[in-house]
Amino acid sequence: MVLKYDLNKDLKKDMDAPVILLQGVSKEYKEGIPAVSNINLEIRKGEFVFIVGNSGSGKSTLIKLMLREIKPTDGKIFIAGKELGRLRRMGIAKYRRSLGIVFQDFRLLNDRTVYDNVAFAQRVIEAPAVEISRQVPKVLSLVGLTEKFRSYPKELSGGEQQRVALARALVNNPVILLADEPTGNLDPKNSWEIMRLLEEANRRGTTIVVVTHNKEIVDVMQKRVITMNKGVLVSDNKKGGYLHEKS
Ligand code: ADP
Ligand code: MG
């Protein structure tokens, strides 16, 4: 049976189920070579979770599985208690639009202004015009870009571009925000600024899952840390600190 539920509506409700649950999840891009292996992971609503690990350890694969950009070869993924594998194309599109997503390379629309890049995310979910004109300035102010609303991405620094991407990810007030190395292209000052904004979004209730290589940030922020090694979840440290592993 295919479910036609509105995941976003489910996510906004109070729930007993974990917001994200992976049960025995494996992904093989090539048969016999697992990129991630038998992952069991439970993330509760309102958590802030770092995913760390060496390059090639399966971090991006985990994020792509949660985004439903790829399907697991084995195992099941539940979002708010509903199995992702049972969503049809429309359901998947709707699910993705309900998420906040941030990548290392910003992925802004270069021919649109800062304002329109952020407004775009609201237009996609068919938000009413009054809501767009209220929300976009609010979220641009939150990320400190009020003065830049007419600028184009090319006219901004890397740190500013990532703040636009973050504003776009937050404008629909997502229950879940997934970020794959959002500070990978940024200097330390801008990296801290992005993390501060993620923490702020988390304080307002968004569940945050963020992949990072930034050891210092992970050590200082004292959040839950999931460590991946060669496709295996090797540690789940509920209270902070980068696992000091030999590579
Ligand atoms: P990380 O984000 O931790 O660097 P990835 O999840 O990108 O790791 O990759 C995990 C493993 O899966 C690596 O061995 C990588 O080469 C492989 N992999 C990732 N994406 C693909 C793909 N599209 N096709 C084949 N192999 C892939
Ligand atoms: Mg990666």
> What single string gives the DSSP state of each residue in 182-211?
TTTTS-HHHHHHHHHHHHHHHHTT-EEEEE
Q: 62 CA distance to ligand 1 centroid (A)?
A: 10
pTM, whole model, 2 decimals? Answer: 0.93
CB atoms within 10 A of CB 148: 18
Residue 223's SS3 state is coil
Give residue 114's identity as a one-letter amino acid code: V
- Burial class of residue 14, CB neighbours in 10 A (0-12, 13-18, 19+): exposed
pLDDT, mean over the chain: 92
Ligand 1 neighbours, Cβ below 6 Å, are 29-30, 35, 53, 55-61
Q: Where does the pLDDT of residue 156 fall: very low under 50, low under 70, confident under 90, or very high at 90 and above?
A: very high
Nearest in space to 66 (alpha carbons), one of 98, 107, 110, 104: 98
How many Å lie between the centroid of ligand 2 and the Cα of residue 237? 20
User: What would the pLDDT profile of 9-19 be if each residue is shown by its tens digit?
Assistant: 677 676 778 99
- Taking CA atoms only, the protein residue closest to ligand 1 atom 1 is 56
d(CA 1, CA 86): 8
Judge whether residue 7 has pLDDT over 90. no
Mutation choice for ligand 1 from 25, 39, 60, CB with most ligand atoms inside 8 A? 60
Nearest residue by C-alpha to atom 26 in ligand 1? 29
- Give CA–CA dist 25/62, Å, rounded: 9
